[in-house]
Amino acid sequence: PPVFVRWTTQSNLQLAIRLMGEGRLDVDCLTTHTICLPDVEAGISTVIDKPDEALGVIFEMPH
């Protein structure tokens, strides 16, 4: 029950995002692919076809 749980999924996510923003939580080692938004179709295929190789995928928007 929530009354016994100190941390919820939402509070964990908020903390993780804050720590990443402060540079105190390094997640670079989790990023396996960086895909430009125009190549999103190929990127999604990689995630579906090779799930063991796609741990963390970042989709970048062109400037």
Number of domain units in the chain: 1
Q: What pLDDT shows up at residue 21? A: 95
Q: What is the pTM of this model?
A: 0.57
Residue 8 has pLDDT above 70, yes or no: yes
The model's pLDDT over 42-53, given as tens digits with 9 standing for 90+, comes to 888 988 999 898
Helices (H), 1-63: 9-21, 40-49
The residue-averaged pLDDT of 16-21 equals 94
Residue 6 is classified by DSSP as S
Q: What pLDDT shows up at residue 3? A: 67
The residue behind tokens 């430009």 is 36
How far apart, in Å, are the Cα atoms of 28 and each of 8, 14, 18, 43, 45? 25, 18, 15, 18, 22
Q: What pLDDT shows up at residue 24? A: 97
CA distance 63 to 57: 19
The distance from CA 53 to its chain's CA centroid, rounded to whole angstroms, is: 14
Percent of residues, the chain, with pLDDT higher than 90: 40
